[in-house]
Structure 1
Amino acid sequence: MNQKELKEFLDEKVIQYNNQDFIESDPVQIPHLFSQKEDIEIAGFLSASIAWGNRKMIIKNSHKMMELMGNTPYDFVMSHSEDNLADLETFVHRTFNGKDFGGFIKGLKHIYQNHNGLEAVFAKNQEKDSLQKSISEFKKIFFETDHLARTQKHISDPLNNSAAKRINMYLRWMVRQDTKGVDLGIWKSISPAVLSCPLDVHSGNVARKLGILERKQNDAKALAELDKKLRKMDAADPVKYDFALFGLGVFEGF
């Protein structure tokens, strides 16, 4: 396929997968449960943070997280007691356990109490074509509170050459202005043009087969390479192609 044909093919796949049907099999359904801004962004952040492995298990455990917080995530974050955190200790998703969950609650309270919320932290350090510095700075601020060293591994740092798939997916949910109702687009201080594709094994493999990614590892350098190609196809909304790449990989075995 030449460049024009490739863009047309991927644009068709975006239309095929970027619709309401996508929600029922994706963890993006979790923030859709809420209407208050802070509830949406906290629910999204926590569910994106455990978004690796089996998708059904991710969704099931994300629902469990919400239940453990009484389905009022912002209120729980801001008014929790040590006893409330102890109640979270039964939680486990792969290597993310109840202690990590408690550490995340403390980090979130710190962000809202001292840094004007999640959107403000990510918006503060954005660059003209990237949010990767924003992610790195967010991680520093998030872990200014008391936490276990092991918990830090659950937030990736792009400046340490991570593709930071889960947090880039979260940013897509919060920032992208989606007319189809999948991404929530509640953050207005960040442009969708600076978003990065949530690069994982599925999207990476499809991108290589289509010739829009050469680097073999799914790391920050591969992400920068893929972002550059996707921005040439749509400078205003490059990460819409995540739906095409992910859909081709997961649903079509491309």
Structure 2
Amino acid sequence: MKFQELKTFLDEKADQYNHPDFIESDPIQIPHRFSLKQDIEISGFLTATISWGNRKAIIKSAEKMLDYMGNSPYDFVLNFSESDLKPIEGKPLHRTFNGEDFAQFIRNLSRIYREYNSLENLFLIRESESSYYHSLERFRTSFLGEKRHRSHKHVSSTYKNSSAKRLMMFLRWMTRRDNKKVDFGIWDQLPQKYLSIPLDVHTGNISRKLNLITRKQNDWKAVEELDLILRKMDSEDPAKYDFALFGLGVAREF
């Protein structure tokens, strides 16, 4: 397809899949259960962290985490005691993300929310930046802290050339603003025009079939390659095309 034909096609697919019905079968349904900003952030971040594999399994595992937190994530993060975490630490949760990882994430979140009102503060980009490449690494450093822990492997590093798919998906959820109400758009200090696609195996494969990227690895260099063409298609909201690429993959139209 020529550029304009491809843009028209992807615009139509983005509009088709960026619809409230999308919420019902997607992990984004978890933060949609809340109205308090901090509850949305915490449940969204934890859900995005375990978002690999089958979507039904992801949702089920996220619901386990909510149950452990009494379905009040922000209150739990601020008021838990170490004795509250003991029953969690020995439990399996989602694939390689276990109860020990979850407990450490709770401790990290508690530390951050005692200093900041919102996780948004840790993702702020600087004036000279035009992507979230450095922002994601600054968040990772702040969130994980200095003490080494097995949970560190669950927060990807763009500085190690990771596409940081799960962090980028979380950013999309919190930052994108439109009238469809799938994404929340509650972080207005972060420019959505600098968002990238949460690139994984599925969106990567569809991107290659559509000749959007040529790079074979699903890494940050591929994200940058995809940014170049998607920002030409929509300079203010390039991340909307995540709905198109993901939807095409789920529907198996290719």
TM range (shorter): over 0.9
What's the CA shift string for 1:218-244, capped at 9, x where partnerless?
001001100111101000000000000
Please name the residue that 1:123 is paired with.
124
* Residue type at the aligned position of 1:99: E
What's the CA shift string for 1:162-197, capped at 9, x where partnerless?
000000000000000031111011101001101110
Please name the residue that 2:184 is paired with.
184
Measured in 1, the distance between the counterparts of 2:25 and 2:117 equals 32
Deviation, 1:143, is: 1.3
Deviation, 1:128, is: 3.5
* Residue type at the aligned position of 2:97: F
| Alpha-carbon contact 1:27-1:55 (below 8 Å) kept | yes
* Residue type at the aligned position of 1:121: L
Q: In structure 2, do the counterparts of structure 1 residues 98 and 21 end up closer, same or farther at CA, with 3 Å as the change threshold?
A: same
1:105 aligns with 2:106: yes
Deviation, 1:250, is: 1.5
| Alpha-carbon contact 1:103-1:147 (below 8 Å) kept | no
Q: What is the TM-score with the length of structure 1 in the denominator?
A: 0.96
Please name the residue that 1:163 is paired with.
163
| Alpha-carbon contact 1:52-1:58 (below 8 Å) kept | yes
What's the CA shift string for 1:148-174, capped at 9, x where partnerless?
2x2100000111100000000000000
Q: In structure 2, do the counterparts of structure 1 residues 127 and 117 end up closer, same or farther at CA, with 3 Å as the change threshold?
A: farther
Q: In structure 2, do the counterparts of structure 1 residues 11 and 61 end up closer, same or farther at CA, with 3 Å as the change threshold?
A: same
Deviation, 1:251, is: 1.6
Secondary structure class of the residue paired with 2:224 = helix
Please name the residue that 1:203 is paired with.
203
Please name the residue that 2:60 is paired with.
60
Please name the residue that 1:135 is paired with.
136
Deviation, 1:64, is: 1.1
Q: In structure 2, do the counterparts of structure 1 residues 3 and 38 end up closer, same or farther at CA, with 3 Å as the change threshold?
A: same
Q: In structure 2, do the counterparts of structure 1 residues 238 and 124 end up closer, same or farther at CA, with 3 Å as the change threshold?
A: closer
Please name the residue that 1:224 is paired with.
224
Q: What is the TM-score with the length of structure 2 in the denominator?
A: 0.96
What's the CA shift string for 1:109-143, capped at 9, x where partnerless?
12111244310111155753211211101111111
Measured in 2, the distance between the counterparts of 1:68 and 1:235 equals 41
Please name the residue that 1:80 is paired with.
80
| Alpha-carbon contact 2:196-2:227 (below 8 Å) kept | yes
| Alpha-carbon contact 1:110-1:145 (below 8 Å) kept | no
Which consecutive segments of 4 or more residues in structure 1 shift more than 3 A?
124-128
| Alpha-carbon contact 1:125-1:131 (below 8 Å) kept | no
Please name the residue that 1:92 is paired with.
93
Measured in 1, the distance between the counterparts of 2:147 and 2:161 equals 25
Please name the residue that 2:250 is paired with.
250
Q: Which runs of 5+ in 1 are unaligned?
A: none
Measured in 1, the distance between the counterparts of 2:128 and 2:158 equals 14
Aligned-residue identity in percent: 56
Secondary structure class of the residue paired with 1:96 = coil
Measured in 2, the distance between the counterparts of 1:45 and 1:78 equals 16
Secondary structure class of the residue paired with 1:92 = coil
| Alpha-carbon contact 2:125-2:132 (below 8 Å) kept | no
| Alpha-carbon contact 1:166-1:198 (below 8 Å) kept | yes
Secondary structure class of the residue paired with 1:114 = coil
Measured in 2, the distance between the counterparts of 1:224 and 1:110 equals 33
What's the CA shift string for 1:2-60, capped at 9, x where partnerless?
10000000001011100011111110001100000000000000000000011110011
* Residue type at the aligned position of 1:98: G
Deviation, 1:144, is: 1.3
Question: What is the number of residues matched between the two proteins?
Answer: 253
Mean Cα displacement is larger for which, 113-122 or 198-207? 113-122
Please name the residue that 1:3 is paired with.
3
Measured in 2, the distance between the counterparts of 1:201 and 1:141 equals 28
* Residue type at the aligned position of 2:224: A
Measured in 2, the distance between the counterparts of 1:171 and 1:213 equals 22
